[in-house]
Amino acid sequence: MTATRDTTAPAATGVHADRPALLEVDGLTVRFRLRDAVVHAVTDLSLTVRPGELLAVVGESGCGKSVLAHALLGLLPGNATVTGRALLRPPGGESVDLVGCTERRLARTVRGRAVGLVPQSPATALTPVRTGRHLLAETLRAHGHTRRDAPAAAERVAADVGLLPADLDRYPHELSGGMAQRLATALALAPDPPLLLADEPTTGLDRPLVDHTLDLLRRRCDTGAAVLLITHDLAAARRVADTVAVMYASRIVEHRPTEAIFAAPAHPYTAGLLDALPDRAFRPVPGHPPMLTDLPAGCAFAPRCGRASDVCATPPAVGAASGSGQVACHHPLTAGATA
């Protein structure tokens, strides 16, 4: 049965507002120090995810989407500096600030258990000397299944993502890119974490399997879990997300209900992304994103924006947009939007 998003749900930051936040990110900033430069990967990012919510983070490649996911799980390289706060409140568990969390605690109580990750490059994340069946059974045993019931549970989880029993007996190098992606998704889902970070989970899949995977994520939210979906696929976001956060040059520039964004985008960059869709104007956003080592002092989108003015030389504040939600723009498109 195909899962569908309930478009009558409370909008924007009010989605499931009666529930306490599962993840609350405030001022998250990530910098990578190179020999002769600093990469501004994520800048002053704030968002909230509640149980039952599917939040999609979209934007062009290189804007910082994947860095966000890895920062939350402490998976960044040694030259990264992370500041801000990311408070995780797992059901029935103790709250933890993921930014200040020790590696020991992340490994023992957060990764896999409280927060699952579907990696963007599954082929490099899978242990090469173990079959998919071994990997799944081992994961299930680590999270409470007995040695006796783990094999049957592994096949059930694999079936959920579209893998056949015979597929589980292959080693990672024997799997196609799409099969490796489905195995990585199964490994993330097996422990049934309350929060799932899905980083481009439909990479390498054909359209029926893309829809199958998206509907699987949607069903998790419909049963009370939460999903942070990182994707460049706007059609995927529209299909399943409650809310959409649009990232540009390390910052969130618009965060609003899915239907509101697709019906009337407030930020010129969001409008440009939508105009690039084949079923719309099929017109690319003009120009190129700035280098993250050389961001302008003001609005980073101004050089590509037809609405830019002198005021755009200063950073835009985050304000309310019509239809609820937020937009960071001096000249928002939507009637009634303020900056």
Which pLDDT tens digit goes with each residue over 253-312? 999 999 999 999 999 999 999 999 999 999 999 999 999 999 999 999 999 999 999 999
Question: Over the stretch 109-155, which tens digit does the pLDDT of each residue have?
Answer: 999 999 999 999 887 889 999 999 999 999 999 988 888 899 899 99
Task: Look up residue 283 and give its two tokens.
Answer: 């017109």
Taking only Cα atoms into account, the Rg of the chain, rounded to an integer number of angstroms, comes to: 20
Q: Look at residue 146 and tell me if it is in a domain.
A: no
Judged against a pLDDT cut of 60, whether residue 100 lies above it is answered with yes
Q: Look at residue 196 and tell me if it is in a domain.
A: no
Q: Look at residue 172 and tell me if it is in a domain.
A: no
Q: What per-residue confidence (pLDDT) applies to 93? A: 87
Q: Look at residue 226 and tell me if it is in a domain.
A: no
Number of domains in the chain: 1
Rounded to whole angstroms, the Cα distance separating 156 from 326 reads 41
Look at residue 2 and give its three-state secondary structure.
coil
Q: Look at residue 167 and tell me if it is in a domain.
A: no
Q: Look at residue 128 and tell me if it is in a domain.
A: no
Q: What per-residue confidence (pLDDT) applies to 320? A: 74
Mean per-residue pLDDT, 103-113: 95
Q: What per-residue confidence (pLDDT) applies to 216? A: 95
Q: What per-residue confidence (pLDDT) applies to 17? A: 66
- pTM for this predicted structure: 0.91
Residue 111 DSSP symbol:
B
What is the maximal distance between C-alpha atoms in the chain?
A: 68
Q: Look at residue 113 and tell me if it is in a domain.
A: no
Q: Look at residue 25 and tell me if it is in a domain.
A: yes
**Distances in whole angstroms, Cα of residue 272 to Cα of each of 195, 250, 281, 295:** 31, 17, 10, 20
CATH code of the domain covering residue 308:
3.40.50.300
- pLDDT band with cut points at 50, 70 and 90 for residue 105: very high
Look at residue 181 and give its three-state secondary structure.
helix
> Any residues with CB less than 8 A from the CB of 291 and at least 6 apart, and which?
none
Mean per-residue pLDDT, 68-94: 96
Judged against a pLDDT cut of 90, whether residue 317 lies above it is answered with no
Mean per-residue pLDDT, 205-232: 95
Judged against a pLDDT cut of 80, whether residue 322 lies above it is answered with no
Judged against a pLDDT cut of 90, whether residue 95 lies above it is answered with yes
Domain that holds residue 2: 1-51+65-104+234-339
Q: What per-residue confidence (pLDDT) applies to 10? A: 34
User: Which residue, 50, 71, 47, is CA-closest to 58?
Assistant: 47
Where does 241-277 have alpha helices with state H? 258-263, 268-275
- pLDDT band with cut points at 50, 70 and 90 for residue 26: very high
Judged against a pLDDT cut of 70, whether residue 57 lies above it is answered with yes
**What integer best gives the mean pLDDT of the chain?**
91
Judged against a pLDDT cut of 60, whether residue 7 lies above it is answered with no
Q: What per-residue confidence (pLDDT) applies to 41? A: 98
Q: What per-residue confidence (pLDDT) applies to 16? A: 66
User: Which residue, 114, 136, 226, 128, is CA-closest to 184?
Assistant: 136
Rounded to whole angstroms, the Cα distance separating 87 from 72 reads 10
Dihedral angle sign, alpha carbons of residues 151, 153, 156, 158: negative
318 HSE (CA, 13 A, CB side): 16
Q: What per-residue confidence (pLDDT) applies to 338? A: 42
